[in-house]
Amino acid sequence: MSGRRLCRLEEIAEPGSRGFRLGSGTETRAFFVVRHEGRVVAYENVCPHVGSPLDWMPDHFLDIEQRFILCATHGALFRIEDGHCVEGPCAGKALTPVPIRVAAGEIYLDE
């Protein structure tokens, strides 16, 4: 099976999110996985407004109602299913998707 194993699916709450950092130095890749309504999606941990990380605490990427991805710095809200910003200073822009797949209860980064 190709791709890097990230975690077991059950390690992310439904709904919930979890951040990942791979590599080091200039080769570091920060992204997060969201599990919501049977979907599992991943995006780079970068707000399209100014390039800051979205989370203010580790693994906290969803708003209080767990309906949207939230930029903790600017309050921007992004749809979980496609990363499109629906409210905030970057409305109309979108998060950058990260290719993942789920196989046999495991989440893999599809590199």
Could you tell me the residue range of the domain that residue 44 belongs to?
4-109
pTM over 0.85: yes
How do residues 27-68 score in pLDDT, each as one tens digit?
889 999 999 999 999 999 999 998 899 998 999 999 999 999
Task: Specify the pLDDT at position 6.
Answer: 97
How many domains does one find in the chain?
Answer: 1
Chain mean position to CA 69: 8
**Could you count the other beta carbons within 10 Å of the beta carbon of residue 35?**
21
Task: Specify the pLDDT at position 24.
Answer: 83
Model confidence at 109, pLDDT cuts 50, 70, 90, reads very high
In this structure, what CATH number is given to the domain that contains residue 95? Answer: 2.102.10.10
Task: Specify the pLDDT at position 1.
Answer: 41
